[in-house]
Amino acid sequence: MAEVKTVNLTPTWREFPRTLLRGVGQVMFQDSLWTGLFFLIGIFVGAYLEGPQFGIVAWGALVGVIVSTVTGYLLKLPDENGAQGLWGFNGVLVGCAFPTFMGNTIWMWLALILCSAMTTWVRTGLNNIMSPWKVSSFTFPFVLSTWFFLLASRLFHGMPPEWMSTPELPLGHVGHLDMNFISLVEYWLKGIAQVFLINSWITGIFFLLGLLVCSWRAALWAAIGSAVSLFIAIVWQGPGADIANGLYGFSAVLTAIALGATFCNSNNWKTWIWAILGIVATVFIQAAMNAFFSPMGLPTLTGPFCIGTWIFLMPQYKMFAPSQN
């Protein structure tokens, strides 16, 4: 089906750091090393602000993007997009997720390296399956591979599930939520920061700036995505603590950039409504997956973004084509 091409990949070592930064930027669909640089600074600042023991999250991110990118070169994957950072964006998320949820042991780090590398070929396989469906695998290689290791941490005590939530039946607690303006802005920025699993509103500012240097439209939609998801989660009376930590925002932010900017060919009121609907649906999918994974104590990661965006992209090429005649 997909043709096998041999591509002349000669990464000079001067190019390599740029490829890494582009990999960080591609998490939010930006093929820009400057975006990646802002993101990486935001990750380091946010991680160390949470406390010195969380600083390792940032180093994990760095290890993850290096390992997954190098894996692409080692496997000589015939992927002309490697230099655009498309091997790195899953790895950097693996690197953020592992120390965020698991204890800081040597076995956790070895697993982090294996999982980061795995995302590169899982992506090749999933994209191959999905290409006839007119969608890409997005961050799902990260999501799927990381689910394996986070679930395994429940039984493998060498990498304990130290920061994961306790498995429990989904019985639903509301909890209190401060609703003054300053707090709301904080939740809104945290929704953006949590794309890289960072719980800091300052990081959210770095991420917005990083988007802005590459595409004002992506920055605008990220802002809209977090705002709309915050609004929906509050109105539907979701769990207070999770809303305050931006945990209903991050998937919606990615859906917003995907539907509002990256995969949007025209720019009329129809596509605006379409993107807003996609953001709203992603918030419900986020809550649904939170409830579904509650008995296993498994985080959804960016799974709700993948599912939400697939649902809104898959039929699109059939839908908007005739209406643009």
Region 289-308 residues binding a second copy, contact defined as CB under 8 A: 289-292, 294-298
Q: Is 146 helix (H, G, I), strand (E, B) or coil?
A: helix
Q: Draw the binding track, 31-50, toward a second copy (x: CB under 8 A; -: no contact).
A: --------------------
* Cβ atoms of residues 243 and 187 within 8 Å: yes
Alpha helices in 15-139 (DSSP H): 16-25, 33-49, 56-74, 89-101, 106-130
CB of 56 to a second copy, least distance (A): 19
The position carrying tokens 């639903």 is 172
Draw the binding track, 114-143, toward a second copy (x: CB under 8 A; -: no contact).
x--xx--xx-xxx-xx--xxx---------
**Tokens 């985080």, residue located:** 299
Question: Which tokens sit at 163?
Answer: 């920061």
Task: Read off the DSSP letter of residue 30.
Answer: -
Q: Does the footprint of a second copy cover residue 231 (CB under 8 A)?
A: no
Return the number of the residue (32 or 120) whose C-beta is nearest a second copy: 120
Name residues contacting a second copy, limited to 243-262 (CB under 8 A).
none
Instruction: Report the residue from 48, 59, 156, 272 that binds a second copy according to the rule CB under 8 A.
Output: 156
Q: Is 8 in the site for a second copy (CB under 8 A)?
A: no
Q: Compute CA 104 distance to the chain's CA centroid, rounded to the nearest angstrom.
A: 22
277 binds a second copy (CB under 8 A): yes
Record the tokens describing residue 168, joined without a space.
């429990």
Which one of residues 78, 103, 212, 220 is an interface residue with a second copy (CB under 8 A)? Answer: 78
Indicate whether 174 belongs to the interface with a second copy (CB under 8 A).
Answer: yes
Q: Examine residue 151 and tell whether it contacts a second copy (CB under 8 A).
A: yes
DSSP 286-319: HHHHHHHHGGGT---TTHHHHHHHHHHHTTHHHH
Question: Does the protein bind a second copy through residue 163 (CB under 8 A)?
Answer: no
72 versus 260: smaller Cβ distance to a second copy: 72
